[in-house]
A and B are shown apart, each in its own frame.
Chain A
Amino acid sequence: DQQVKQNSPSLSVQEGRISILNCDYTNSMFDYFLWYKKYPAEGPTFLISISSIKDKNEDGRFTVFLNKSAKHLSLHIVPSQPGDSAVYFCAASYNNNDMRFGAGTRLTVKP
């Protein structure tokens, strides 16, 4: 059972525009959420996180929004840069040891 879903396998945006990556989850017990970024032939690296008690967290060009009632979170990248081209994984956890990941969204930022 996939408790964390990223329904868009890929996204393409123009440099300088906004990238919006979406993630839905089914388990209402999840209490924190993270986004990881992965380049080819490398492991995922942590990007940004949010606790379930918040609805927004911002770090530079990256903002994560959480809508608990809709069980939905999104990652906004503004402005998008070619170096942001990567696979982005959404992750969620409810007991600190069992982190569930989505299938990933491949972002391509065109110059």
Chain B
Amino acid sequence: NAGVTQTPKFQVLKTGQSMTLQCAQDMNHEYMSWYRQDPGMGLRLIHYSVGAGITDQGEVPNGYNVSRSTTEDFPLRLLSAAPSQTSVYFCASSPGRTSSYNSPLHFGNGTRLTVT
């Protein structure tokens, strides 16, 4: 059982480049989300989805796009990378339609992104 799979594990981009961080889960979870982790800031929610075809913004959505065409996949797109987007990105999912008390988040192992 793979759980939540994120690719790539590491990525270096130049300012202005675009790329897509991939996230796939094989647990048939409705809820999926993207977080970024920065030193001293904890994990901050970028975007989330409560089901295929439905997405919404989190705490820090600017500079990122998402789509949810299938239950399994939830890619995160950086439109024009900036040094401020250097971070570790985590994708997470949960079995309910929310990240609730009874269905905590399952996280992937992260993508470390550096923008120069």
Contacts and interface: CB of A to CB of B under 8 A. Distances in A.
Interface in A83-111: 89, 91, 93, 96-104
Most chain B Cβ neighbours within 10 Å, of A6, A9, A100: A100
A3 to B, nearest CB: 10
Contact of A43 (B4, B44, B45, B104): B4
B100 interface: yes
Interface residues of A, number: 27
Nearest to B50: A97
Contacts of B107: 36, 43-45
Interface residues of B, number: 27
Contacts of A49: 101, 104
A4 B43 CA distance: 11
Interface string B42-67: 11110010100000101100000000
A97 B42 contact: no
Contacts of A97: 31, 48, 50, 56, 98-99
A32 interface: yes
A98 B42 contact: no
A93 B99 contact: yes
A51 interface: yes
Given A91-B43, A96-B98, 9 more contacts: A43-B109, A96-B100, A97-B48, A97-B98, A98-B58, A100-B42, A100-B59, A101-B35, A103-B40
Interface of B: 4, 31, 35, 40-45, 48, 50, 56, 58-59, 90, 92, 98-101, 104-110
Interface of A: 2, 4, 6, 9, 32, 34, 36, 41-46, 49, 51, 89, 91, 93, 96-104
